[in-house]
Structure 1
């Protein structure tokens, strides 16, 4: 049996875990899982205490995407029966911000499908963000695809605090998931927004037929990218996508993945994201021992848990909502 606490203390002393240790985390026997989770919590508690960040998504543009990502119901090759619409108006984005404010959400995430935003779409987001900042002072994260430098500048000047562009999977596994853009395209976008002083958010989707070594490589790539926020999605396979019917995950393995992310990226926001409800199921609460952030409400094209249940879960755990206005510390 591995001494997970000793490994956690070494991480707190600034050591990086080896590849062998990373594999042992993912291969942790189920009977030792609580020891692993508790040790990951030592790291999480050192940097974040008992606080949990809440995030909320608004899907401002649905479907109509030219990309061929195999997991996505909004892609050009998906036959999933989802609602499709072009960019919503500013008032709709503002109503979402009002709801986020009411739910004590710390970060409001403005998401749009597509390879990258048009000039008009950027203008809509910029106008909304300026009013959100003035009216609600929320932290805003944008997720609009591949950006051009001038678009990154516009978002920064409008007050966007954070930009999300996930690596999704490992570089070696990338072409198995999509061929309409490269892994390097994704890395370049994250590096671009860092150049403009926007906090980088980049994460993964686990459960897409990748190997355990792929998962380790994802975690290490995000460490190299220095992503401030790391959304960990667990595949919710949707009928009509290329990954329809794939069901490789169980709640215990999902917890091990979250622990791995914490051991490799100890100081970063680890967010349990899409697929939380269907993959962690009754173990959702345990996920917040290695992770320190969740989404409330619905995701892009799938429903999330009722937000009142999320608030009850946090109360039952004895955790506090970490509500941070504006951008007091976009690196936290």
Structure 2
């Protein structure tokens, strides 16, 4: 694809997305393998789709690491896993008052969604009861949407979370089905699909995304986008690997900033109406090109992540303002 042909080609991709047609594998590869000189027209085409569905609004989300460093799973990217030697905090599920304080901090940061995340295979009944209790009070006292990310859910647990008022449940696919065994062996890709389906069955909004940079090929990135389209995930966090020392993937390196932007454009074209969120690793991988991510994505995490630091809240607010976008506040 040469520079002269690039602009109408990207426009055609935008039109397909707006017409509800997914890109073909060949078209997806054209996005991911586009010459860097074509980046701006590519992002402009992605922006056409993003603007159609979300205007210039940006949703903000804040995470609280509600249980840290005690996970028996062997996920190669995670500093909290049993195979990690990274020096991360280790503590059991936070008390209710701490979870409530986190919700108030989310509001101070102008985040519309508060994400309660707990490391582990899945919640115990005691942990679930603690989360349910906190969620009920947050819903009664604050205009926040609540997302829970507690691992693999057992029968009945999704129902209890939904009844408590959890709006959204996050369970990422993380990588392609073929690449999954090289990243995690203590649970399967299909188990993750099953949890997302349970979430949908009980009326919570399904949130499921990926981590880019774990050895997947370009074709597998496209397969990941197709899988999330088929799963009908409402919110798709796009994480870019932050290779943490002490984890099996510590030497994986970083995704070049321009490649990361092409990935965001790809997911916007394939999942056009969905919330595309720039998530973990954006500061490390996108670096100075972070503002351009808003041409494809309509959602950001603000503040720190689970065990790694984010950038200052004022910097995120400034990016949104300088790019001419506007923070979306909850109507609840």
Return the TM-score normalized by structure 2.
0.97
**Structure 1 unaligned blocks of 5 or more:** 327-332
The reply on whether 1:88 has 2:94 as its aligned counterpart is yes
What is the aligned counterpart of 2:292 among 283, 286, 291? 286
What is the aligned counterpart of 1:239 among 218, 242, 245? 245
* Shift in Å, 1:210: 0.9
Q: How is 1:91-130 mapped onto 2 (pairs within 5 angstroms)?
A: 91-130=97-136
* Shift in Å, 1:185: 0.5
The reply on whether 1:49 has 2:55 as its aligned counterpart is yes
Q: How is 1:303-318 mapped onto 2 (pairs within 5 angstroms)?
A: 303-318=309-324
Cα pair 2:49 2:272 within 8 Å, conserved? yes
What is the aligned counterpart of 1:275 among 278, 281, 292? 281
Alignment deviations for residues 129-168 of structure 1 (CA, whole Å, 9 cap, x no partner): 1110111021000000000121111101100000000000
The reply on whether 1:266 has 2:272 as its aligned counterpart is yes
Alignment deviations for residues 42-61 of structure 1 (CA, whole Å, 9 cap, x no partner): 00000000000000000000
* Shift in Å, 1:248: 4.5
The reply on whether 1:254 has 2:260 as its aligned counterpart is yes
Root-mean-square deviation (CA, aligned residues, Å) is 0.8
**Structure 2 unaligned blocks of 5 or more:** none
Cα pair 1:167 1:186 within 8 Å, conserved? yes
The reply on whether 1:175 has 2:156 as its aligned counterpart is no
What is the aligned counterpart of 1:161 among 163, 167, 181? 167
The reply on whether 1:207 has 2:208 as its aligned counterpart is no
Cα pair 1:106 1:325 within 8 Å, conserved? no
Secondary structure, counterpart of 1:280 in structure 2: helix
Structure 2 equivalent of residue 148 of structure 1: 154
Cα pair 1:147 1:189 within 8 Å, conserved? yes
The reply on whether 1:75 has 2:51 as its aligned counterpart is no
The reply on whether 1:65 has 2:79 as its aligned counterpart is no
The reply on whether 1:184 has 2:185 as its aligned counterpart is no
Count of aligned residue pairs for this structure pair: 326
* Shift in Å, 1:101: 1.2
Secondary structure, counterpart of 2:156 in structure 1: helix
Cα pair 2:148 2:170 within 8 Å, conserved? yes
* Shift in Å, 1:6: 2.0
Structure 2 equivalent of residue 329 of structure 1: none
Secondary structure, counterpart of 1:231 in structure 2: strand
Alignment deviations for residues 221-246 of structure 1 (CA, whole Å, 9 cap, x no partner): 00000000000000000000000121
CA distance in 2, matches of 1:135, 1:18: 47
CA distance in 2, matches of 1:234, 1:78: 19
Cα pair 1:111 1:142 within 8 Å, conserved? yes
Cα pair 2:242 2:254 within 8 Å, conserved? no
CA distance in 2, matches of 1:52, 1:145: 27
* Shift in Å, 1:284: 0.1
* Shift in Å, 1:102: 1.5
The reply on whether 1:221 has 2:258 as its aligned counterpart is no
* Shift in Å, 1:325: 3.9
CA distance in 1, matches of 2:21, 2:147: 31
The reply on whether 1:301 has 2:312 as its aligned counterpart is no
Cα pair 1:138 1:325 within 8 Å, conserved? no
Return the TM-score normalized by structure 1.
0.97
